[in-house]
Structure 1
């Protein structure tokens, strides 16, 4: 599979990546065998970029991805995870996570973009995955934490990058405006743009992509199915858009795009995947 480099770093990503939120039991239980088979299928298809996060299933995604990649040549794949949400003991568990993942809530998420929090998060990720290093670390959803993320967390990641501990740093969010600020105002190499450059939403054309082009940085476009609405040939009611049930007007738009795809001999999911990597300064999609 073709690869694209993250500008000014040694990291090259396959144009398609594997987003590991689902193997963290996003919305529903994914049996262990199915999670392992999904990673195997991605590998067999030539995918060599795998992304995870502590947030996904309260660490379940990281554990499963690390186990599935165990034994594969480490130099052949790129793995990214995220920091900013520490997993700490939950003093008042109710039996089930309330953040969209079907897992027990023996742990809870704790926002922390301090230097110590970032270092602790990375160390915990390495323990859960069984890896000795991460290729990319993104700050995860710092929407309400700009000052600490920009002034403390990003310099911490930059120091680790400069020491050769990690190869590339950035931020990942479901909005574009703050990601553009990370590109313009911090030492980020790359941003993970979730859902804002898709068939249904190209808002990143106004800020993230121009910022990346101006500063010679890179963009990884993810969430290209907008949480599921674009993942089937014919979308139906109840499918997700931005992690919520898709409103009727967006379902109507998706169905109209599906009709155009069918008229041209392709499918809505195929068009959704092709949309992101064709964007300027994009390294690929997951």
Structure 2
């Protein structure tokens, strides 16, 4: 798997292209993807749920004009987008409410079965205007909003989507598959499966400067030992690390804001950006193959690239460690 993402440590997370949190124009979305390409980014990650297919449509509009062999394209299964629209008078807008309320109004059907997986892939190929996918993740089988229900969703995916993706990989239809989740536990379980062997995992929000303790306990060491890639999503913790108001897709608590302020104070003292610290911290872990921050403005892409190349003095990391702002066993950039 590592050869797929080699040289693509900085990727592009396309969730904002689905009008996450705010509505953006097609022109702004397409300019952002263009900027990512011009900055040398060749790893693009999306999903059907991002704006009920809107992110895939926008991403495909640009990438279809680029040489297909030059980039890695990842999407997800577990959601089938229906032609039927939501009733705008309904209070229950399903999974379109909240994060993607500004996206397309199509109904979204949760489906982790083999048939649903194949339908989802077929739809994604059309929206992305491509004939193949490199990585396919089983999306959101574990979210905090499900509580204990995630175990039953995992089992449904194990007997449906997992087996379908395992077969598609073996047949050469896709290059790799895994889980795209925001909890550590389902990845740990998947690593121990005998009847399915994922190649990579997209872990969103659980390995960042603000939240990494649980992942360090077992997941990261086991993934590195078994040569299974971890791709980190949401490295800025939904934006709060870089001036935003959200943490874990919700308004950040006073405690989180205070922790960010402490990190920023130390960063300012060493004349570095928190964005650089956030990205370089994630990539310092040997299990991490790539990090995929999201962006909805072209200027943000240049900032991400600059942050990757920013020189951070060892004294910054030493102070962060001494102030107990990172775990004592967390790998730090050298």
TM-score of the alignment, normalized to the shorter chain, above 0.5: yes
Q: Deviations over 1:8-43 (max 9, x none)?
A: x65546110100000110010111111111111111
Secondary structure of the 1:257 match is helix
Q: Counterparts of 1:81-120 in structure 2 under 5 Å?
A: 81-90=75-84, 92-94=86-88, 97-103=96-102, 106-120=105-119
**What TM-score results when the alignment is normalised by the length of structure 2?**
0.79
Rg: which structure is higher? 2
Specify whether residues 65 and 92 from structure 1 end up closer, same or farther in structure 2 by C-alpha distance, changes over 3 A only: closer
Partner of 2:291: 285
Aligned residue among 256, 259, 264 for 2:262: 256
Aligned to 1:71: 65
Aligned residue pairs, count:
275
1:165 lines up with 2:173 in the alignment: yes
Report the TM-score, using the length of structure 1 for normalisation.
0.91
C-alpha displacement of 1:102: 3.9
Which sits farther off after the overlay, 240-249 or 208-217? 208-217
SS at match of 2:231: strand
SS in structure 1 at match of 2:87: coil
Q: 8 Å contact 2:184–2:203 — kept in the other structure?
A: yes
Q: Which has the higher helix share?
A: 2
C-alpha separation in 1, matches of 2:108 and 2:101: 15
Partner of 2:281: 275
Q: Which of 163, 174, 196 is matched with 2:182 structurally?
A: 174
| Aligned twin of 1:15 | 9
Separation of aligned partners in 2, 1:207 and 1:84: 26
Q: Which residue of 1 aligns with 2:120?
A: 121
Given the superposition, is the C-alpha separation of residues 37 and 91 from structure 1 closer, same or farther in structure 2, using an over 3 Å criterion?
Answer: closer
Distance 2:126 2:264 in 1: 43
Deviations 1:236-257 (A, max 9, x none): xxx0000000000000000100
1:77: Cα distance to partner? 0.4
1:93–1:105 CA contact under 8 A, matched in 2? no
Classify the secondary structure of the residue corresponding to 2:174: coil
Q: 2:203 touches 2:230 (CA, 8 Å); kept in 1?
A: yes
Residue 207 of structure 2 corresponds to: 197
Which among 235, 239, 262 is matched to residue 224 of structure 1? 235
Change (3 A) 1:13 1:170: farther
Offset, 1:169: 0.4
Go from structure 1 to structure 2 and tell me whether the alpha carbon gap of 1:159 and 1:12 turns closer, same or farther (over 3 Å shift). farther
- Kindly indicate whether residue 253 of structure 2 is the aligned counterpart of residue 247 of structure 1: yes
2: distance between equivalents of 1:99 and 1:105? 13
Contact 2:82 2:108 in 1 (8 A): yes
- Unpaired runs of at least 5, structure 2: 143-149, 293-334
Q: Is the 8 A contact 2:114 2:161 kept in 1?
A: yes
> SS at 1:37's partner residue?
helix
Q: Are 1:50 and 2:49 counterparts? A: no
Q: Which of the pair has the greater relative contact order for Cα pairs under 8 Å at 6+ separation? A: 2
Contact 2:5-2:289 at 8 Å conserved across structures: no
1:3 maps to none
